[in-house]
Structure 1
């Protein structure tokens, strides 16, 4: 009966991990439940709720490219065309990240723009309105998801170890025993994925409802809510390129 302690370990680890993920998800949604979300989202706010600071960066770069203030090359470099300093805070953050050289690779710009004060203010405003999940909540949900995924792999490994340890006549019972923790952890992962699909974990339930109501007919709105997949190949290459050197 050496397989029974292995099954108990798998079951306990699975139960703890699933409870942790469920509590984190409920807490993340509960923090936003009492806030007033409002009915309007700016493009920057929609981009943040859909893809976080990275999506805000992509939206700003493409917006400046379409306004001919910036040239995004398929090689992955951004070149300033109009550096007059106008535009909003996000555009000024882009120009500041590029620097006086007037040219920089997009991968180098991403972290600089994503950590800009104006992007943090977008996040803070959305969290205050109950539309975005606070950073601690996102970290807890992510940690819970990793724990459940680890529990699933542990149950799978322990089951693979336990089956050869018992007589062939008892192997069906061993497999049936390990099916329970595998099923519970698998369902927990699937439910967590379904809960956030098609939006990212950045948006609370209220934020997701507002995102669903946005029309994707405008190209920039489509980019904000759906990501670079809606762009033409040249711009997708520019946003994903590494640049020469």
Structure 2
């Protein structure tokens, strides 16, 4: 009856993993249901579109680019930012000027990092989460980790079952029945994986399904921005959705690609 000692951990690992996956899925579904009405169609601001597309780093890029195109900030292709007009028009611009520093000049890379980590960008992310448009921090990661654990549990059950069947000597029970007992926790794990594949929505790193739908609208409105020939909002919207590769001016693009590795696109 040594095979029973292998069956117990098989049930344990399968049960714990499936329970974790179910709890993660329930939390994700509860968040989506609670915020579904808040995420109804509305217009995204440029900064909101930037956050949903590329996170805090993209917001910093759009803020720097917007001020540079208004000639209120000079971005040099050598990687330096210089404040021309220190009067901020909103809290994010105050964050930009503060990140550049009291001397009015700074390397772009550390300034971008400070902007992305600043309170205005964090507050923007929190508002998008509350509106059901951004993924809560850790939500998608929790579900993904639980799915990986269930997959590992299924492999563990298979290994334990194979060990039980290959044990020499009498087991006290026909091998077909031993196989059946191990097939039960394996079926539990596989069925949980199948249900998760169908029921759990795919999330991007930043945008929820509702956020992704609104981003599609922004992307379509930005399609008119080609080589900088478009109205200013469409041009910045294109950068917000597609990143700095959508910048038409070579010098500005060079300035914003002159960055430290952690923020490279």
- TM-score of the superposed pair, with normalisation by structure 1: 0.72
1:225 to 232, 241, 251: 241
Aligned to 1:117: 119
CA distance 1:159–1:48, change in 2 (3 Å): same
Q: Could you list the per-position Cα deviations for residues 22-81 of structure 1 after superposition, in whole angstroms to 9, with x for gaps in the alignment?
A: 11221121221232645211100111223332321222233344445232546xx44215
Aligned to 2:96: 94
User: Where in structure 2 are there 5+ consecutive unaligned residues?
Assistant: 168-174, 226-234
Deviation at 1:114, TM superposition (A): 2.6
CA distance 1:110–1:84, change in 2 (3 Å): closer
Q: Could you list the per-position Cα deviations for residues 144-170 of structure 1 after superposition, in whole angstroms to 9, with x for gaps in the alignment?
A: 332332332344345445534532988
SS in 1 for 2:48: helix
Deviation at 1:131, TM superposition (A): 3.2
Aligned-residue Cα RMSD (Å) equals: 3.8
Are the equivalent residues in 2 in contact too, given 1:59–1:223 (CA < 8 A)? yes
1:208 to 208, 212, 228: 212
Counterpart Cα distance in 1 of 2:76 and 2:157: 51
Is 2:193 the counterpart of 1:185? yes
SS in 2 for 1:57: helix
Aligned to 2:49: 46
Count of aligned pairs between the two proteins? 233
Correspondences of 1:1-245 after superposition (within 5 Å): 1=3, 2-35=5-38, 37-68=40-71, 69-71=73-75, 73=77, 77-80=79-82, 82-101=84-103, 102-106=105-109, 108-133=110-135, 135=136, 138-157=137-156, 159-160=158-159, 162-167=161-166, 178=186, 181=189, 184-185=192-193, 188=196, 192=200, 195-196=202-203, 199-200=204-205, 202-214=206-218, 215=220, 216-217=222-223, 218=225, 219-228=235-244, 230=246, 234=254, 237-241=257-261
CA distance 1:12–1:110, change in 2 (3 Å): farther
Are the equivalent residues in 2 in contact too, given 1:45–1:126 (CA < 8 A)? yes
Whose Rg is larger?
A: 2
Question: Taking CA–CA contacts closer than 8 Å with sequence separation of 6 or more, which of the two structures ends up with the larger relative contact order?
Answer: 1
Are the equivalent residues in 2 in contact too, given 1:49–1:132 (CA < 8 A)? yes
SS in 1 for 2:75: strand
- TM-score of the superposed pair, with normalisation by structure 2: 0.67
User: Where in structure 1 are there 5+ consecutive unaligned residues?
Assistant: none
Deviation at 1:241, TM superposition (A): 3.9
